[in-house]
Structure 1
């Protein structure tokens, strides 16, 4: 593989690893919000923002963590036949099937950018009683999808190298 591709794979993997390790702790932020929600409902006046804020944090958690999950190969895979194949055959099949992921992520990114542009242009707010601006969560959504697209490209290059018998170090 050319040095540019090796550098791309190294940079994308390192960046998504850092983002994923940081975003992992978002679960504690969400737990804190939900704990506050439970306490405020029983002891004080209920806070209207807690459920929706927990949903926003959860959306950021799984969208920003998607690339890291893909990198760790911790996504769901049907392993009926796949487990018996050689590493080169697995890599070749993965290099072909990842094209479907590219198509899916492309349309998801296109829709996300369109939705974010709308939210920014019209200062879109949620329909809840709290009525927060939607742009921040949509921006996080687009960033997460873009990082997943970059990681999928990195995985494609690694699978292609393994399928050709020259794995990237």
Structure 2
């Protein structure tokens, strides 16, 4: 490789490194925000318990709001889970592999994840478009719009896709003997 090619390769590697750092940081922020939802859910459920049991005036929206918050918690935790390598994995042979062997296995299987997230993203965009076009609402006493939660799903799937590509770069770096 000539000097010009090495400069281009170094520039590309710097861009990839910046992309991975940005994506990891974004996943951290979203994950910490998701973790804070636990306290908000607890507060809403406590409010519901007090109004239902002490005041005898139940609020019909509290449990449903908590369900929406739990869905948000689940969606927002996805990129954070991928970033921290805390997702479920079949550990039959994986645990016996070397660090480079694990990186090669992860690099081979991450494409299945990217395909899966891509299909989910296409479906979530379609579902969001339908919700916006029809002003879709839940059938309940509260009758909330589902547009915000479907929009959050779409955004979180984009973040998971970004994080999956960051994983590709991390696995390639591990195979090259480098660290991002």
The TM-score range, normalised by the shorter chain, is over 0.9
Matched, 1:27 2:38: yes
- Once residues 121 and 158 of structure 2 are traced to their aligned partners in structure 1, the CA distance between those partners, rounded to angstroms, is 7
Count, aligned residues: 168
Instruction: Flag as ranges the 4+ runs of structure 1 deviating above 4 A.
Output: none
Deviations 1:11-62 (A, max 9, x none): 1111111221222111111111111222222122211111111111011111
- Once residues 59 and 142 of structure 2 are traced to their aligned partners in structure 1, the CA distance between those partners, rounded to angstroms, is 9
Q: What's 2:3 paired with? A: none
**Paired residue for 1:97, among 99, 104, 109?**
109
TM-align CA RMSD: 1.3
Matched, 1:47 2:59: yes
Matched, 1:132 2:144: yes
**Paired residue for 1:112, among 116, 121, 124?**
124
Give how far 1:96 is off.
Answer: 0.8
In the alignment, structure 2 segments of 5+ residues that lack a partner are 1-11
- Once residues 56 and 21 of structure 1 are traced to their aligned partners in structure 2, the CA distance between those partners, rounded to angstroms, is 17
Q: What's 2:178 paired with? A: 166
Deviations 1:87-126 (A, max 9, x none): 0010011011011111110111111111111111111110
Please give the secondary structure, in 2, of the residue aligned with 1:24: helix
Give how far 1:163 is off.
Answer: 1.8
Give how far 1:2 is off.
Answer: 2.0
Please give the secondary structure, in 1, of the residue aligned with 2:129: helix
Q: What's 1:17 paired with? A: 28
- Once residues 105 and 92 of structure 2 are traced to their aligned partners in structure 1, the CA distance between those partners, rounded to angstroms, is 14
Please give the secondary structure, in 1, of the residue aligned with 2:80: helix
In the alignment, structure 1 segments of 5+ residues that lack a partner are none
Matched, 1:2 2:2: no
Q: What's 1:157 paired with? A: 169
Cα pair 1:12 1:150 within 8 Å, conserved: yes
- Once residues 79 and 23 of structure 2 are traced to their aligned partners in structure 1, the CA distance between those partners, rounded to angstroms, is 10
Please give the secondary structure, in 2, of the residue aligned with 1:109: helix
Q: What's 1:56 paired with? A: 68
Larger Rg: 2
Please give the secondary structure, in 2, of the residue aligned with 1:2: helix
- Once residues 153 and 37 of structure 1 are traced to their aligned partners in structure 2, the CA distance between those partners, rounded to angstroms, is 42
